[in-house]
Amino acid sequence: MKQSLSSPCASRSGLGTEYLDLLQQRQTNPVELTRHVVADELVTVAYKGRFLASPVFLSAQERRSVASDLYQIYRLLTHLPERLFGGDTRAFARAVGMTEIQADIVQRAAAAGQPLLPLARSDLYRGADGFKLLELNITSALGGFENAGINQAMLMHPVLADFIEEHGLAHADTFGGIIKMLYAECAAHMDRTRRPVVALVDWPESFKSYEPRLNVMAALFDAAGIDAIPCHVGQITDRDGYLEVEGRSVDVLYRFFLVEEIETAADAEFVEPLLRAFEEGRVGMFSRFDSELYGNKGALAMLSDDHNRSAFTADEQACIDRFLPWTRHVRSSAVDPVGEEVDLVQYAVAHQEDLILKPTLLHGGNGIVPGWIVSPEEWLVSLTEAMDGPYVVQERIRPLPELFPADDGVGTQELFLNWGVFLTDPQVTGMDGYNGCLVRGSTNPNVGVVSMAGGARVACSFYETDSTTASA
């Protein structure tokens, strides 16, 4: 839908509006704005040329606020076993929907001793009352690691380059932040006097399609002085006390396969050599198997659930209320948004247009049922089948439309954005833990999940620095 800049329905930040005005003044062709990034082989592997013609811009206050809320939620999620389960990681894993096999693996990993430092990527929608956190992906298997390459390629266009310089804006080196986290979390295995060897380990089935993306990561690691070898679990051997891949001893397993892929006893036996080597301190693992436990959608439901409010301080409750949408496990009863105990199915049926059903473990939008795009009959069946299983219902957040240059260069178009803000440990990477943002945009206002699988395109981000605002 095309809009004028004065449209009351769509908006951009002050910087975004200024940039759109500049593009119109200079009569800039949107195709030219993305020409360099489309030609960049390292980033087109992942995004197939599907780039938006404009970045997004975060003010210094927005960046600080989002980073602070994300860090607070991360801290609460990773403390849930202690807050709600007496420190029993296995019980927590079962409560969020993991199987006994998966619960055993994450419990062993959590007990192994290697630190788990903040590394995550959010799914945020900007609603009428600010940013809301839909999911927090806590794992090393994060897409978007190469997003600084989009910034650098976009900056080859003089209009954007002039705008960024004039306003003193910056962008984060997301991959550089990940490398710092890798060294910090696996310090015992990362000898800085030589090039470490890191195995980029995927699951055999997903490796078939994801290998080109891992080759991109290997190239980025090579430029950073690390030897990285893309592989799958079945290509790693345990020989004379060392894990090897392609005949080379491995210092760190960089894990791209997920706990959700370990479904059977045979799968558990498949990963046993890797887990045992990690437990015995013979190899580092980035990140630990239990990292996804804390990023599980069921864990977010525990934060949101009114029954658990006594486990959190007043400041923590305020962050939860401000930043999380109403989220509940699919059980027979629940506390509704106004604090009343209700029959959950009856409530969900009555508010179908305002709710989305999500599996707790699957990723990438798999298994999600948005109430507003299915029939009442399908919705009721989905709820019934999800009852007492690994599912949550979550309040629908309607992202505000944001203006971008129209593809034909005439006027603007409305897009609905998923803000993928990366979080790292502030003590390791500096600043406030903000480590870049990869935005996905869709033209569909009723989209269930703004994702690449759903046809979205991506944009990079720039932010105001504290020094920028101080001199303004």
Asked if 451 and 418 count as a contact pair (C-beta separation under 8 A), the reply is: yes
CA angle centred on 317, ends 288 and 83, rounded to 5°: 45
CA distance 97 to 229: 33
Output the pLDDT for position 2.
36
Cα 172–Cα 174–Cα 178 angle in degrees, nearest 5: 135
- The mean pLDDT of 61-85, rounded to a whole number, is 96
Render 331-383 in DSSP notation, one character per residue: -SEEE-TTS-EEEHHHHHHHTGGGEEEEESS--TTTT-EEGGGS-HHHHHHHH
Distance CA 311, CA 427 (A): 26
Q: Which residues lie closer than 8 Å to 456 by C-beta, 6 or more apart?
A: 50, 418, 440, 441, 442, 450
Per-residue model confidence as pLDDT tens digits over 360-386: 986 666 789 999 999 999 999 999 999
Percent of the chain with pLDDT strictly greater than 90: 82
When pLDDT is cut at 50, 70 and 90, the band that residue 468 belongs to is: low
Q: Which residue type, as a one-letter code, is found at position 97?
A: G
Predicted confidence (pLDDT) at residue 245 exceeds the cutoff of 70: yes
CB 440 within 8 A of CB 422: no
What pLDDT is attached to residue 440?
94
461 pLDDT exceeds 50?
yes
CA distances from 344 to 356, 380, 384 (A): 13, 11, 11
Per-residue buried b or exposed e for 233-255, using 16+ beta carbons within 10 Å of the residue's own CB: bebbeeeeeebbbeeeebbbbbb
Radius of gyration, alpha carbons of the chain: 22
Q: What pLDDT does residue 365 have?
A: 63
Q: Fill in the DSSP letter of residue 127.
A: E
pLDDT of residue 188: 93
pLDDT tens digit string along 159-175?
999 999 999 999 999 99
Least confident of 197-201, 248-252, 393-397, 398-402: 398-402
**What backbone phi and psi angles, to 5 degrees, belong to 225?**
85, 25
- pLDDT of residue 450 exceeding 90, the answer is no
Take residue 279 and report the two structure tokens written for it. Answer: 């437990």
From 154-158, 298-302, 454-458, the region with the lowest mean pLDDT: 454-458
Evaluate if residue 284 carries a pLDDT over 50: yes
Go through the domains of the chain in sequence order and give each one's CATH number.
Answer: 2-295+399-407+414-471 (no CATH), 326-395 (3.30.1490)
Residue 457 has pLDDT above 50, yes or no: yes
Q: What is the pLDDT of residue 471?
A: 47
The tens digit of pLDDT for each residue in 312-340 reads 999 999 999 999 999 999 999 999 999 99
- Check pLDDT > 50 for residue 345: yes
Determine the pLDDT at residue 431: 80
Mean pLDDT of the region 79-92: 97
Q: What is the mean pLDDT of residues 103-119?
A: 93
Residue keyed to tokens 């990773």: 78
Per-residue pLDDT band for 68 (boundaries 50, 70, 90) equals: very high
Average pLDDT, integer, range 109-137? 93
The encoded tokens of residue 456 equal 């979205």
Structure tokens at 236: 């790693």
Model confidence at 472: pLDDT above 60: no
Per-residue pLDDT, 467: 66
Residue pair 202/165 in contact (Cβ under 8 Å)? The answer is no
What three-state secondary structure class fits 424?
A: strand
Query: Among residues 21, 127, 15, 148, which one has the least CA distance to residue 405?
Result: 21
Beta strands in 112-161, from DSSP E residues, in sequence order: 119-127, 130-138
